[in-house]
């Protein structure tokens, strides 16, 4: 299962086959490819939403 979690919400002792750091375009793309290969993956994001750096740069962007 692939999930996106804030570092604050990640439980100690969780095990995943892959950890993706950052839920920007590259991180989400990497997580999608891992999901296609059935790799148990977690995406860790510092902010409370995905693509936060995009949101401040592109005012019309909606994720």
The residue whose two tokens read 């962007």 is 61
**Is residue 39 in some structural domain?**
yes
Q: Is the pTM of this model over 0.85?
A: no
**Domains in the chain: how many in total?**
1
**Is residue 62 in some structural domain?**
no
**Is residue 35 in some structural domain?**
yes
Cβ neighbours, 10 Å, residue 22: 19
What's the chain's average pLDDT? 78
DSSP alpha helix (H) spans, the chain: 25-36, 52-57
Would the pLDDT of 15 be above 50? Answer: yes
**Is residue 51 in some structural domain?**
yes
The residue whose two tokens read 């604050």 is 8
Model pLDDT for residues 16-39, shown as the tens digit of each residue: 899 999 988 899 999 999 999 999
**Is residue 24 in some structural domain?**
yes
Question: Can you give the residue range of the structural domain that contains 38?
Answer: 2-57
């Amino acid at each position: 299962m692939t999930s996106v979690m804030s570092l604050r919400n990640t439980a100690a002792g969780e095990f995943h086959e892959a950890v993706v750091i950052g839920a920007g375009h590259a991180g989400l793309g990497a997580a999608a490819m891992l999901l296609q290969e059935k790799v148990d993956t977690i995406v860790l994001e510092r902010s409370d939403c995905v693509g936060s750096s995009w949101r401040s740069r592109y005012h019309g962007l909606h994720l």
